[in-house]
Structure 1
């Protein structure tokens, strides 16, 4: 998986210093005319990676978390890197074994978005893990990659799957976005009923009007922040911060937020979407902000409580103090075994109410997918 840069950072700096004055990056990357388009089969881009957790205790030590499970954030790094490698393999052909110097290829491939990742069963840390995938759709300037993650030797029921939405479904979701159109009448009614029941407690979130339903917490009071300096060790082949690394940072902050909110053990269920608006430069300051967007107690007994979390990544300009959003992440966790404190997140502003409805949609879609799996 060659998505990490193959050259030293010192070499990259030296190459940048050698650029002729006024020479644009576009002219430097100019390449010979590409070969005529050659039809590809899906299996031409197939790639896989084996993580031998069951047979390598040393490898397992690098991935194990505090509760004895596998760090999902690190696996997300691999999934992003694998998807990138599959994309380059599709472009360059199945016979190409290494990416080489990206400057000589004449094109860049970057992650535009991640639609969903659903954990259909918990990961088994005593078994080897296979990550695999291939290109399943191509457009004029983009392609869609499906990646599967499965436990080796445990059979179909033990696998977990990352599947992209169809282009038509993605377009439908975009048209229904609450940033473009108002909520449906059913959603508006659900929001109003929720506000009447839970949104009239005092400013501190105490003295709930319905103690039997647990504690109510204002959405704004669930914010957590983390600021980090982006170092060159986490760069990709384009000399920007590796997208998979950003996914891991966002996942871990989201997990922290969920654990603090539920006050009990939680299990990851799904990655409900990631948008990549712009790259994160090396040396920049990144501000990650997480917030609980929606909570619910579903009818399924195995999920005492579901928590939908949003994590926003902003690059901070130290000279002006302004910020630009680079990524928007959405995750869902469940509280395990009925432990912890029953709590509900309550929006206070219109913007928060739209985020609450977006979280509601994500949880409904996740419930659909898990329901289909059970059938």
Structure 2
């Protein structure tokens, strides 16, 4: 994808502390005659990226936060090009010490959880750009993250080198938008100024009428370059495949499902019935579990008053990382996050529970064993004695090659119940799908 952005669409990212004490744009508070700084808007407690994005889009977001009463919906759709929504973020890690410290992990790399949060924030801003009709008399659309395609870390991301994220709309349907983002960083060699792509991600947003909550049409997209046309066609194929899955035209398991279940359950039964005789190189799935619980706070909401999708990905990643760390006994290396569907919104005040486990391991490649982590997000309602799944995340980690050379071993994970065995098979089958089908 040609994601070169014009200077007017490049947003420099500065540390939170630096911007808090500077002069900031402001917005009318509907409950007060005093104008409050953007730093006090919803979502401003997440990361410096959110701060930069909201300042850059202050006029659009002001209308989103305080739309005209009884405003009419957009009456005529516009046709926009990908270049009109193209936006880039620049992280000046090399010169901004505070920003660097905000993103540094204990191993001098960028915190992946914060980066996932930033990707969602940027994708949301790009979707607002595309859907805006620049008419202050119409009510804005409500745009929510519907799903995220597989995100793969291709290269480690250093926190000492400037980083760039570039994104643009590549496809639109009637009420859905697909945004592609690329994370790149200059190579460390002093004489090489070229950039290498570290991460590519596709986010899908859906538009809702902010008053009725029903699906709303979005502005059309007119690709201009050959690359933009190719990306549009590929996204159209993915959209059709998603519809196939929703329609039930999808095979749940391969032939021999019963035999595969029995094979998975056989060793688990030994652990349950005769633990002294169980294989010491294996462990029950249930013994790898970790859990976090929290009450969703107002500081974690987005401009629509709901919990920011990037915040959920951030918290899920950090729990997955901890699970892999506790399981392997070594600092894990992140590889990828698989396709994520946002099944239902999470609101301020919700009791959120994140439950993780090592779902299975892949040991056929001794130089790079894979640790597959599942994180399930539940919204519990104690008053109603109910709990609903909002998201399921799948992360893949490995360990450094130097550990494997020293004879380090990753244990095999086995299920104790048929339900656990089915979850493992579903993920294994999803991983063996063709690449074009994995984004369903």
2:103 to 52, 56, 63: 63
Distance 1:186 1:159, change over 3 A: farther
Superimposed CA distance per residue, residues 97-120 of structure 1 (whole angstroms, 9 cap, x where no aligned partner):
xx99xx963320000111110101
Contact 2:72 2:138 in 1 (8 A): no
Question: How many residues are paired up?
Answer: 338
Distance 1:29 1:298, change over 3 A: farther
2:363 to 297, 301, 321: 297
Structure 2 residue 381 is matched with structure 1 residue 313? no
Contact 1:200 1:209 in 2 (8 A): no
Contact 1:257 1:291 in 2 (8 A): yes
Aligned-residue offset at 1:75:
0.7
In structure 1, stretches of 5+ residues that fail to align are: 13-26, 370-375
SS across alignment from 2:80: coil
Distance 1:182 1:280, change over 3 A: closer
Contact 2:132 2:140 in 1 (8 A): no
Aligned-residue offset at 1:55:
2.1
Superimposed CA distance per residue, residues 143-163 of structure 1 (whole angstroms, 9 cap, x where no aligned partner):
111111111356354532224
Aligned-residue offset at 1:186:
6.3
Provide the residue aligned with 2:161 in structure 1: 127
Structure 2 residue 396 is matched with structure 1 residue 332? yes
Normalising by structure 2, report the TM-score. Answer: 0.68
Structure 2 residue 150 is matched with structure 1 residue 110? no
Provide the residue aligned with 1:245 in structure 2: 311
Contact 1:52 1:129 in 2 (8 A): yes
Superimposed CA distance per residue, residues 25-73 of structure 1 (whole angstroms, 9 cap, x where no aligned partner):
xx98753242422222122211111111222222111111122221110
In structure 2, stretches of 5+ residues that fail to align are: 1-10, 12-25, 33-66, 189-193, 204-233
Structure 2 residue 254 is matched with structure 1 residue 184? yes
Provide the residue aligned with 2:198 in structure 1: 159
1:256 to 322, 329, 332: 322
Provide the residue aligned with 2:171 in structure 1: 137
SS across alignment from 1:201: helix
Distance 1:346 1:79, change over 3 A: same
Q: Quote the RMSD (CA, aligned, Å).
A: 3.4
Structure 2 residue 315 is matched with structure 1 residue 275? no
Aligned-residue offset at 1:210:
5.1
Q: Distance in 2 between matches of 1:309 and 1:362?
A: 14
Provide the residue aligned with 1:149 in structure 2: 183
Provide the residue aligned with 1:72 in structure 2: 112
Q: Distance in 1 between matches of 2:195 and 2:103?
A: 23
Superimposed CA distance per residue, residues 333-359 of structure 1 (whole angstroms, 9 cap, x where no aligned partner):
112233554211112323212221233
Of 65-74 and 351-360, more deviation after overlay is shown by: 351-360
Q: Distance in 1 between matches of 2:387 and 2:366?
A: 41
Of 236-245 and 319-328, more deviation after overlay is shown by: 319-328
SS across alignment from 2:127: helix
Aligned-residue offset at 1:141:
1.1
Provide the residue aligned with 2:386 in structure 1: 322
What aligned pairs does 1:7-86 form with structure 2 within 5 A after superposition? Answer: 30-86=70-126
Contact 1:273 1:331 in 2 (8 A): no
